[in-house]
Amino acid sequence: MTQSHDIDSLVGNPEPDFTHILSCVFGIREHESRTYLALGEYPGTTVEELATELDRDRSNVNRSLSTLQEKGLANRERRLLDSGGYVYQYTAVPLPDAKEMLHQALDDWVEAVHTEIEAYGES
């Protein structure tokens, strides 16, 4: 069963789990939240390694990693291979930093809601 990951599902849930919060606040899918958490457990992971760990297709993992990079939740580094060529390794933004980003995003949203409430009917 697929859960809805919009603000209504977060506000209406008295006990949301961390992946649900990540999904709602950053506007990402649950599998992207799981990818972030896996990166925290396995820093410096390649797409292929992560796909194996998550039991997902490499192309799907690659898209998840791109989304996480866009949201500021993952970093990519290029590592040169001894045999020639290179591979990209991915690392999650440290959990304390991600938590701070979550707090800031929620604080900004709450402030915007309060501003809208106060401004309503003042025209």
Please report whether residue 93 resides in a domain: yes
Tokens read off for 6: 């919009």
- Whose structure tokens read 């599998």? 31
Residues 19-77: pLDDT tens digits?
888 888 898 998 999 999 999 999 999 999 999 999 999 999 999 999 999 999 999 99
Average pLDDT in the chain:
88
Does residue 1 fall inside a structural domain?
no
| Residue 97 in tokens | 């930093």
Note whether residue 21 is domain-resident.
yes
Q: What is the pLDDT of residue 21?
A: 87
CATH number, domain containing residue 56: 1.10.10.10
Q: Is residue 114 part of a domain?
A: yes
- Please determine, for residue 3, whether its predicted confidence score (pLDDT) is greater than 90: no
Q: Where is pLDDT greater, at 12 or 66?
A: 66
Q: Strand, coil or helix: what is 77?
A: strand
Helices (H), 12-57: 18-26, 30-41, 47-54
Position 15 pLDDT exceeds 90 = no
Specify the number of domains making up the chain: 1
* Domain extent at residue 41: 7-119
